[in-house]
Structure 1
Amino acid sequence: MNKYAPEIATLRMDIEHEVKRKIRTPYDFEFLSGAIWERLHENISPTTLKRLWGYIDGADTTRRTTLCLLAQFLGYADWEAYLASLATRTDIESAAFEGEGVHIDDLQPGDRVEVTWLPNRRCVFRYEGEARFTVVEAEHSKLQVGDTFETAAFLIGQPMYLDNLCHADQPPTADGMSYVAGSKHGLHTVVRLIDA
């Protein structure tokens, strides 16, 4: 399953809630790997966990065996049992977008959103509708003016996950790339810009 899927984002939040800490630093991934070993006597390497959390680059998909172990860590029989439980939970929608930020439901086409993240990155995006954005300003970022992407929300303290990223200086492709910004510390600020 794609590691940017909402079900996996919820899984990450549930695991952080279970261990009562945000998983953000190399030590946190070592800690979580050890906690999984203590509870299940199964090994998931810190590197695999870092990829799943977007801390380091790697495969965009996660193996079912890894997802099953993480679901078992939370007390479920397997990944499918965890997925089945999501259908009956009422906290998911609000938990998935917990925290300050901007969600696409709050935007109209033409609205602009400014985001910053460490060390000194700043971008302004224009909402085009249908979850699509265009980069209109970019400072110290791999994103460039004219790039387009899709996302559902920009949340302070959370990584910025962009899907179907198409660079302005490259021919469009059927499927753009996925991109994560602020994977270690999340977004620093998120501001909806109001025209004077």
Structure 2
Amino acid sequence: MEKNNALEALVDITNNNLGYVPSTPTEFNELSRLIQQKTGRSLSLSSIKRIWGYVKYEGFPSVTTLNILAQYNEFKDWESFMFHNMENDTCDSGFINESAVNADSLKCGDMLVLTWGVDKSCEIECISHMRFRVNSSQNIKLLVGDKFTLHTLCIGHPIYVCDIERGDIRVPAYIGAKKGGITSISFMPCPK
């Protein structure tokens, strides 16, 4: 995806997440405050106004500025946003080139720590053939103790789980890391 189109897409996503298109100094100030609050990093008011076309600007934002805006929208950085948009902008199918973790190859007691987005993670443990239990979770909808079926994990792609058991409740499916995909997978083999 061409970078100017990608920037427009990032602005559109930001507008959707805000629920409005900022067009006044007060609204740009509010966006700046929300970005600081969510990411812990600040974007100058002039940078925001240039990106939204409120102030004429012929250049292109710095990578740092783009990273902050991508992080506000729950992508790891500008590059992962570009990857996500390139994937959505082209063919709707393809082979995964990245290394994948096939749940079929894991043994009972093997554990995986998955991270994505801003401070989102979980530790899952293989409890039987392609069945897992959540041992810890941070800022995600899966809860400690949830049990589910998982087939494959891949960095840069979402996590898809199904047949979720939450006590007596059954949930059909869950998708996480929709924006930007899983950023890291750590494997801890079962101690013998």
Q: TM-score, normalised by structure 2?
A: 0.49
TM-score (normalizing by structure 1): 0.48
